[in-house]
A and B are shown apart, each in its own frame.
Chain A
Amino acid sequence: MAERVLVKGTEAIGEAAVRAGCRLFFGYPITPQNELPEYMSKRMPEVGGSFLQTESEVATINMVYGAACTGRRVMTSTSSPGFSLMQEGVSYMAGAELPAVLVNVVRGGPGLGDIQPAQGDYWQATKGGGHGDYKLIVLAPSTLQEAVDLIGLAFDLADEYRNPVIVLADGVIGQIMEPVTFPEFRDPDTLPKHDSWALQGAVGREKHVVTSFDIDPVVLEKMNFELVDKFERIESKEKRWEEYKLDDADVVITSFGTIGRISKSVVEKAREEGIKVGLFRPITLWPFPYERLEEIVKGKKLVLDVEMNMGQMLEDVKLAVKDNAPIAFYKRMGGMVPTPEEILNALKMELGR
């Protein structure tokens, strides 16, 4: 039985990646995620991997593209402005169907914003982000243990679907310390080799080409349709969420990541006051669990969506809830993290209590 250890968020994510078989890390300093590349710079040489501090996030994502071309497990991490810079390369990777894990420790925006926790990159992460038709699998942890588990899952999903996967965290997840149990080290021999397409040298076989490019619209449309088929497969198989005390709930809070964690306290506090509140927390932000949320909210008095942004997941919540229940929204922005008490107050206001 693996032991529980007390670790900091960014280090937990790094160690989880190492144990998942990641041996390549490229990154550029940006707050609040610097401890992750720092950890990897120490850890990669220890496990025979390669760490490189790059000249920019633009270079970073293209190095990730190159490393992913070889079929090896590769990761980068950044924070919001850096992730904006990476969008060009992310689009190319989605088009070229390259597996990689991208960690975005989201901070306040837009623009330079600040360095405090925020969730303003939801749209960028879940709706594409760069140019062209594509989707990224987006995983949003709310605890360190979940972050550790989702990193392993992220690599597996990236390999299975040949698609970049985002782990969307924020400064809270990055900075807190919590006890976690790490998985065992993944046996490198069990990792997917991607021999059928990866660039490994055309030894005794036809050359492999990895590209997002085709000048012929007939061929490119075929590529597009194949991507759409893949995204539909992901949508049908990979939706994940957590349900917390929903069975007898009159009110459903919807929230993700750090707010999902805070919302559990809200559920407890509300129940102490006799208000039956439950939590629906999407873990995959894309694919979003629309069907399950729709089912859950039927007959409820209220759906309260809480986010640290102007209402980005709210659009997906509305698509799911339809007219099955009234929807209210509570937000903080700019790097401000709401307390359970203020969320509870907002909830009571909505209920007229």
Chain B
Amino acid sequence: MAMQIIQKKPESLTDKEFTYCPGCTHGITHRLVAEVLDELGIREKTVTVGPVGCSVFAYQFFNTDATVAAHGRAPAVATGIKRARPDLCVFTYQGDGDLAAIGTAEIMHAANRGEKITTIFINNAIYGMTGGQMAPTTLLGMKTTTTPYGRNSNNDGYPIHVSEIIKETKGVAYLARVKVNTPQDVQKAKKAIKKAFLAQLKGIGFGMVEVLSTCPTNWGLDPVAALKWLDEHMVPEYPLGVFVDKVGDEQ
């Protein structure tokens, strides 16, 4: 009898330890992206475009050529790289402040152009790095450091549904909302991420996966409770699903 490795850290991650808080599910999604790059054999032709926010260090974690965009501008930076080098695989990794507030113009137009890039969009309903302020995705009634009485639609507007808006743009080739709070969901999320990359590699158009993610620190919950909170509060507001799939099942 011999022991065989069936799961281990993917090659597309460096050895750099993640800088995220304990239990933050950013790291799960990093690993999924890296697994997909490994499986598709594209690490050496991939360029990572990191954001500003908790994942500002993404450029250190992915074992690919990488840059860091200004806050919200990752889809524009990725567009520039892709237009210069259409043979490369380019992806952005962005949080909800970055993508859904300051970067709304850039993501909308990259999607609408059918820019052949892939975007991983982390929605955890809060600004993490700056200290737990209201995000555009913050739930109504949710307390943050800038909504101490809870998010109030009269003053703060409503949680923004980026995927539901972007799905109407014609350039989108793959778009799904997933979550990463159970082992089963993590595996489903990986399938979606793979398709979002295939949308680019096959030259069909823009691919994006919105990942419902936890922020135990700024939600004020322990990591295990945060997984449960995601199901109870975020999923009702942000239903899971595949919004666009022009990639098909034959891979």
Contacts and interface: CB of A to CB of B under 8 A. Distances in A.
Establish whether A and B are touching in the complex (CB under 8 Å).
yes
A52 interface: yes
A89 B66 contact: no
A201 B47 contact: yes
Contacts, number: 130
Contact of A89 (B47, B70, B108): B70
A215 B56 CA distance: 10
B84 A211 contact: no
B187 to A, nearest CB: 28
A84 interface: no
B106 A55 contact: yes
Given A65-B80, A200-B88, A209-B59, A55 B65 contact: no
B77 A62 contact: yes
B56 to A, nearest CB: 7
A202 interface: yes
B44 A201 contact: yes
Contacts of A213: 56, 68
Contacts of A59: 73, 76, 79, 105-106, 109
Contacts of B66: 199, 207-211
A126 B105 CA distance: 30
Contacts of B202: none
B145 to A, nearest CB: 22
A70 interface: yes
Size category of the binding interface on chain B: 35 or more
Given A89-B70, A207-B63, A65 B77 contact: yes
Contacts of B80: 24, 26, 62-69, 74
Chain B CB count within 10 A is highest, among A62, A67, A203, for A62
Contacts of A55: 105-106, 108-109
A200 B64 CA distance: 10
Given A59-B73, A96-B67, A67 B105 contact: no
Given A199-B47, A207-B65, A209-B59, A66 B105 contact: no
Contacts of A52: 79, 83
Contacts of A211: 59, 66-68
B88 A67 contact: no
Contacts of B67: 65-66, 69, 96, 199, 209-211
A69 B80 CA distance: 8
Interface of B: 14, 43-47, 49, 56-57, 59-60, 63-70, 73, 76-85, 88, 105-106, 108-109
Given A55-B105, A69-B47, A207-B65, 4 more contacts: A66-B81, A92-B70, A201-B47, A210-B66
Interface of A: 24, 26, 50, 52, 54-56, 58-60, 62-70, 72, 74, 88-89, 92, 96, 199-204, 207-213, 215
